[in-house]
Chains A and B, each alone.
Chain A
């Protein structure tokens, strides 16, 4: 059974700093990885996906994947108070449903 592990936090980061969110997964055969942002009481919103080892950048967000270590991370540069949310790491998709971690609660301190 696939498992995705995340530190639940809260992770507190000063405004303008880099927030680093981490995730490990159990299934070595996992191919696709996703980061969702979820504001309190709202549904998850897809912000990044990554399939290949290395880094993928999109604006202030960078996803990093290391398949050998079974490790995925999300970096948020120039953190803003509006980035305060729970960030969910997930793997799977397509023919398989997504397997989610419990999420990391991120707080950006003004």
Chain B
């Protein structure tokens, strides 16, 4: 069964350091999402790509977060510098064009110390 791949699964980093997460969507899925989920909350959309283009990054803290999907396939989300409040689960999801159903990867649990 096709899955969204994410790495790493877990990441511990010191505040002010840089950290990056990688996502490979289900093959053929043109839409890719990055969400952040703080413990006890629902996921919040950070950025949405359609192929290699950003469709929505209105909730992305652009002073420290960046995201790219250069070839329209896999994607990287970067935080620099990391802050204590960035500790959360970072989830990648994908969906096929014309579909509203999104499928999530296993997520990256980030702890900033």
Q: Which residues of A contact B (CB under 8 A)?
A: 4, 8, 32, 34, 36, 41-46, 49, 88, 90, 92-103
Contact = CB atoms under 8 A, between A and B. Distances in A.
A46 B3 CA distance: 13
A44 B100 contact: no
Give the interface residue-count category, chain B. 20 to 34
A101 to B, nearest CB: 5
* Main SS class of interface, B: strand
A44 B55 contact: no
B12 to A, nearest CB: 15
The 9 closest A-B pairs by CB, nearest first: A93-B100, A100-B42, A97-B45, A94-B100, A43-B104, A32-B100, A43-B107, A97-B48, A102-B42
Nearest to A8: B40
A96 B56 CA distance: 8
